Amino acid sequence: MTFTLNVDAVSWRDNLNRAIGDRRVAVGWPEGGDVIAVVKGNGYGFTPEVLAREAARAGATSVAIGTIFEVARVLADFAGDVFVLEPFDPRDEGTRAAWSAVAASPDAGRVIRTIASLDGASAVAHTDGRIVVEMLTSVRRFGLTVSEFPSLLRTLEGGPQIEGLAVHLPMTTPSDGDAVSEVVQAAALWHTALVDAGRDLDDSALRILVSHVEIPELRALRAALPDISIHPRVGTALWLGAPESLRVTGTVLAVHDPTERGVGYRQRRGPRGARLVVISGGTSHGVALAAPSSNVTLRQRAIAASTGLLDAAGRTTSPFTVAGELRMFAEPPHMHVSLVWLPSDVPAPQVGDEVEVRVRNTTATFDRVVGLDY
């Protein structure tokens, strides 16, 4: 009962090295900045531990995780700096306790917290840790406004070391401009605030950390901000940028002869003469789980409408490919396995065979990752 992520290590690592190298060239590495490898959450299906090792293998000097609760998963496998993307807020008791534990550990000096509010800044003002300041951008999720910069810098005077300004951009073009302009404006405003606060502009505070900025935009930023160190935070392009090198498979666990009786938890009957195939891979693995779609184009809306009609009729296409085609679910997937129908005229697989599965890596959990020698 194995749900597997199969990796062509040579092709996958070639993409990883190229993705890091191209961005380093774009930002003028080593003087102009470096890539921060994002290994957060489920580690894009690989796990954060595996990606921490791969980041180290590729020469990355820092990684980023999502929350403080993920930090222990990478510290043992990565010797560089670890940025925590979720902003610290002292009103969150759970994270406050977790941060206290990290602050008392031997690795405290290389874990960098994000500050996105004056409350957060006040809570760390008398510590000797390291922080990144997050600016409120067009994403409008977390961040300090420009008008709050002076108060922030006064609060942090003599406190933790500021490691730069984080500018988290939308994946599409901002509604009121473009990514390059937004970052350039943010850098200029941050620079002014630092100067007004009497900060030494040779220190790490002037660094700009950017998310969702592509290579041509990084080149434009390098040209527009020649005296500022730019650090792209990158995840998807590193780990999922070579989809042809990744293959997800589930193991055939059972093949049942056609029956007129109901099957599964909900006792549904299948098409006449169809076999029932049981395959490893269920909700615990992320099978058939998906984030809401934006459905921007007419084609996307039409697909969503037709899918909804099939679902309403109890005919839902599974992500499992058997004998070259995606097959219908017999019922919603179970926790660890899925039941699919196979038409009577299609040769049945054998128990132990591997069948391919379409799955979203950022919501998937695999029983094993094969090909990376771990």
Residue type at 224? Answer: A
Residue where the block lists tokens 């792209």: 232
DSSP output for 19-82: HHHHHHHHHTTTTT---EEE--TTGGGT-HHHHHHHHHHTT-SEEEESSGGGTHHHHTT--SEE
Domain limits, CATH 2.40.37.10, in the chain: 244-370
State how far the Cα of 94 lies from the Cα of 341, in Å rounded to an integer.
45
State how far the Cα of 64 lies from the Cα of 216, in Å rounded to an integer.
23
CATH top-level class of 244-370? mainly beta
Q: Measure Cα distances from 299 to 171, 291, 306, 307 in Å.
A: 21, 18, 11, 12
- 32-239: CATH topology is TIM Barrel (3.20.20)
What's the predicted TM-score (pTM) here? 0.90
- Helix runs in the chain, H state only: 9-27, 48-57, 72-75, 93-103, 118-124, 149-156, 179-196, 215-224, 236-239, 298-312
Distance of CA 203 to the CA centre of its chain: 30
Domain limits, CATH 3.20.20.10, in the chain: 32-239
Question: Quick one: the chain helix, strand, coil %, rounded to 5?
Answer: 35, 25, 40
Return per-residue pLDDT of the chain as tens, 374 residues.
Answer: 799 999 999 999 999 999 999 999 999 999 899 999 999 999 999 999 999 999 999 999 999 999 999 999 999 999 999 999 999 999 999 999 999 999 999 999 999 999 999 999 999 999 999 999 999 998 899 999 999 999 999 999 999 999 999 999 987 776 667 889 999 999 999 999 999 999 887 778 999 999 999 999 999 999 999 999 999 999 999 999 999 999 999 999 999 998 888 898 889 888 989 999 999 999 999 998 865 655 455 443 333 333 333 343 356 999 999 999 999 999 999 999 999 999 999 999 999 999 999 999 999 999 999 999 86
State how far the Cα of 16 lies from the Cα of 82, in Å rounded to an integer.
19
